[in-house]
Amino acid sequence: MIKTAILATIAATAVLADEGRVDYFAPGPIAHNDDIEIVGGVEAEVGKHLYVTGLRRTPEGASSCGASLIAPKVLLTAAHCAVNNWAKNASIGSHFLRGAKDGERIEITKITPHPKYDAKAMTYDYAIMELKSASSFTPVEVYFGNDAINGPGVIATARGWGTVKSSGAQSEVLKEVNLKIWDNKACNDAIQKGGAGYPTIAPTNICAGGVKGEDTCQGDSGGPLTVKKNGVDVVIGLTSWGIGCAQEGLPGIYARVSEAKDFIAPYIPATPTTKPAC
């Protein structure tokens, strides 16, 4: 997944492997010099996923977390990306990690994490960010169902800005990777086999990936996990945490948006209805 490695200053649990590597990434946004990685990903099509948003400290600085435009003045991201309210600006609809070549830069005016967010258990990892002015881009639908559209075995897509190998230079363009959704029980079994101290997979989690060399990883958490509904992207999850990156049999963990409908839905305008003809 697209996650930020834990530092000692971040209030989250880390489990260190014998070789000293951080195995459990329960991320928190930090100064933007960490690796951001989509392992095995490809460059996304330019101008196709304009709801994908980068969260920045400055208008033209590099993005440190991801988000999705879900209403003209509303972003959905992970709660761990809301720690300390560091994100002041949103870069919406840009293909690039930094700068102002395309898309929009809009100031973030209010940040609301889910009231039940638990940084240790990594549950309820959702946050809403409100914008100073409305975006001109079309928001993405948040999918609140739990059915065949987002069930186990379905191929989902994660997007973000990153490199193709650990410790490499950051990609300057938006990338994407396709990941298979797991059943939560099978996911929990796999995670618990990873060692002692890892969080239990909860209903607020959705798991995807687990194929060696294909994953999202350090940095840029909060970005969207999407599937297709009638040929159009819908958000089903937000990049949250995982054990290492791109390891065989270890899926990445995302925040399942259907479990936060009561929190998210009030920020989404109701779909207009047409009055019947008289």
Indicate which residue of 63, 64, 68, 221 is catalytic. 221
CA-to-CA separations, 99 to 30, 103, 136, 178, in angstroms, rounded: 19, 10, 19, 27
pLDDT band of 243, cuts 50, 70, 90: confident
pLDDT in the model for residue 21: 19
Q: Are residues 133 and 235 in the same domain?
A: no
Look at residue 146 and tell me if it is in a domain.
Answer: yes
Q: Are residues 74 and 114 in the same domain?
A: yes
pLDDT in the model for residue 171: 75
Taking all residues of the chain, what is their mean pLDDT, rounded to a whole number? 82
Examine the residue annotation and report whether 114 is marked as an active-site residue of this protein: no
Examine the residue annotation and report whether 125 is marked as an active-site residue of this protein: yes
CA-to-CA separations, 143 to 10, 135, 154, in angstroms, rounded: 31, 21, 14
Indicate which residue of 32, 49, 80, 95 is catalytic. 80
Look at residue 2 and tell me if it is in a domain.
Answer: no
**pLDDT surpassing 60 at residue 71:** yes
Look at residue 124 and tell me if it is in a domain.
Answer: yes
Q: Are residues 157 and 226 in the same domain?
A: yes
Per the model's pLDDT, the better-predicted residue between 8 and 163 turns out to be 163
Q: Are residues 150 and 83 in the same domain?
A: no
Look at residue 242 and tell me if it is in a domain.
Answer: yes
Q: What is the pTM of this model?
A: 0.85
Q: Are residues 188 and 119 in the same domain?
A: no
Q: Are residues 92 and 173 in the same domain?
A: no
Look at residue 73 and tell me if it is in a domain.
Answer: yes
Look at residue 83 and tell me if it is in a domain.
Answer: yes
Indicate which residue of 23, 34, 35, 125 is catalytic. 125
pLDDT in the model for residue 195: 78
Rg (the chain; Cα; Å): 17
Examine the residue annotation and report whether 221 is marked as an active-site residue of this protein: yes
Q: Are residues 149 and 133 in the same domain?
A: no
Look at residue 275 and tell me if it is in a domain.
Answer: no
Look at residue 157 and tell me if it is in a domain.
Answer: yes
CA-to-CA separations, 90 to 35, 209, 223, 248, 257, in angstroms, rounded: 20, 28, 13, 34, 21
User: Looking at the 3D structure of the chain, how many domains does it have?
Assistant: 2
Q: Each residue of 6-31: pLDDT tens digit?
A: 322 233 333 322 222 123 544 444 34
Q: Which domain holds residue 104?
A: 52-139+262-266
The neighbour count for residue 270, using CB atoms within 10 Å, is 6
CATH number, residue 122: 2.40.10.10
pLDDT in the model for residue 221: 86
Compute the distance between CA of residue 39 and CA of residue 2 in angstroms, rounded to an integer: 9
